[in-house]
A = this chain, B = another copy of it.
Amino acid sequence: MHSLCVRTHSECKLKMDNKKKIRISDIARLAGVSVGTVDRILHNRGRVSKEKRACVERVLKEVNYKPNLMARSLAMKKTINIIALIPSFKTGEYWEDINRGISCAETELDLYNVRIERILFNQYDELSFNKAVDTLLKKEFQGILIGTLFGEPVVRLSLELDNRKIPYVYVDSNIIGQNCLAYFGTNSYDGGYIAAKLLMEKIPENSDILISRIMRECKNCSTQICNREKGFIDYLTKCDYQGQIYYCDLSIDDPLYNTQVLDEIFNSTGKYIKGAVLFNSVCYVLADYLSRHREKQIKLVGYDLLARNIEHLLEGNIVNLIAQRPEMQGYNGIKALAKYLVTGECVPKVNYMPIDILISENIQYYNNQSI
């Protein structure tokens, strides 16, 4: 059956050495078939005889064919729809940055006929997430990026997507054991470990510290925060930390309540507290109090570049912010989906973002680089 192959091996070689990009029509010519047949084989569209298939595949193996993606996307009028399922946000909030990365990828991919639709939910309300899932499952889409705030319903959604063979990417925090195409986010444990190191080098040895939590967070939502706290504590243990750890639950929007709670701690047994940390993105809540009532005697380490956190960092009410390249998470997440959908290529499954350390002197440069 090889007689069907009208070109010899050496001719193929010649073609290869000859640097010019080889095209589908070249392959067709070399294999003695039409471009339509080559295309069918390239894309597994079937309806090709064993003989021709073997012949074309033989040529393919020899020439290292790379499709011209521009020509492809020009010829296919078909658009690819990607959904971004992320929390809604206000200006200056954490998810705004992730969304900015998504928008950036969106602009770039527009040329390739990739469209992105955002479906938003309330990050403090699991029900709103479930509703968003119901909405999106009715839509036509080929890929989805998921902000993994709510572990359990994300797993449910993932199973459904597995069924439908729709690729999905996680951002923010990872949920292991799922078939996501990729995860983009930090190693939360190490993010906590680093916070402890930064805090410890700024306060006198074995001073007491305060760990604050935000009450409005639902119990089961963020593995991110649990893992950070675990890393934090492990660092303390490793250095044989001997101080006292205080815990408190703060309100995200009731400063009076917070003042009451914190005054109580600081004015009683907590008067030797020299450092504090808060593991989600709103450490400004604590900084608000400290700046007004404690005159920078207490070193605070927090996470994420919310506008209100940055203000406090610049004023010295926060000593370090730990950032995790949210824009990059959004950008890379969308690009990974598009790459897979356009070319079939995969990226590594777990992609840990850098854990960036910000101080008042370097924060002005942090978001200068375009992505």
Interface residues of A (CB under 8 A from B): 68-71, 73-74, 111-112, 186-187, 190, 193-194, 197, 201-202, 325, 328, 332, 347, 351-359, 361-362, 365-371
B325 touches A190 (CB 8 A): no
> Across the two chains, which residue of chain B brings its CB closest to A362?
B355
CB of A348 to closest CB in B, whole Å: 9
Residues of B contacting A201 in the complex (Cβ-Cβ under 8 angstroms)? 201-202
Contact A359 B359 (CB under 8 A): no
Question: Nearest 5 pairs between A and B by C-beta?
Answer: A70-B70, A355-B362, A357-B357, A354-B365, A194-B361
A193 to B361, CA, bound (A): 8
Query: Nearest chain-B residue to A322 (Cβ)?
Result: B362
Give which listed residue, B70, B332, B368, contacts A74 with CB less than 8 A: B70
The answer to whether A332 touches B370 (Cβ under 8 A) is yes
Known: A354-B362, A357-B358. 7 other contacts (CB 8 A): A70-B70, A352-B365, A354-B366, A354-B368, A354-B369, A357-B357, A371-B371
Docked CA distance A193–B365 (Å): 14
A243: min CB distance to chain B, Å: 19
What's the least CB distance linking A277 to chain B, in Å? 15
A110 to chain B minimum Cβ distance, whole angstroms, is 9
Q: B356 to A368, Cβ gap below 8 A?
A: no
> For residue A328, which residues in chain B have a CB less than 8 angstroms away from its CB?
369
**With A332-B370, A357-B357 given, is the CB distance from A190 to B365 under 8 Å?**
yes
Residues of B within 8 A of A357 (CB): 356-359, 362
**Most chain B CB neighbours (cut-off 10 Å) among A69, A111, A325, A357:** A357
Report the Cα distance A252→B250, complex, angstroms: 54
Query: Are A197 and B69 in contact (CB-based, < 8 A)?
Result: no
The smallest C-beta distance from A151 to any residue of chain B, in angstroms, reads 23
**Complex A-B: 22 CB contacts under 8 Å:** A70-B71, A70-B73, A70-B74, A70-B111, A74-B74, A187-B365, A190-B365, A193-B361, A194-B361, A197-B359, A201-B201, A201-B202, A328-B369, A351-B368, A351-B369, A353-B369, A354-B365, A355-B362, A356-B357, A356-B362, A357-B359, A371-B371
Cross-chain contact of A365 among B355, B361, B362, B367 (Cβ < 8 A): B355
- How many Å from the CB of A323 to the closest CB on chain B? 10
Chain B nearest CB, measured from A73 CB (Å):
6
Q: How far apart sit A353 and B70, CA to CA, in the bound complex (Å)?
A: 31
Bound CA span A358–B361, Å: 15
Contact A190 B362 (CB under 8 A): yes
CA distance A251 to B70 in the complex (A): 52
- Give the CA-CA distance A112 to B187 in the complex, in Å: 36
Residue pair A111, B369 in contact (C-beta under 8 Å): no
Residues of chain B with a CB closer than 8 A to A325's CB: 369
The reply to whether A332 and B365 contact each other, CB–CB distance below 8 Å, is: no
Q: What residues on B are CB-neighbors of A71 within 8 Å?
A: 70, 74
What is the chain B residue whose CB lies nearest that of A191?
B362
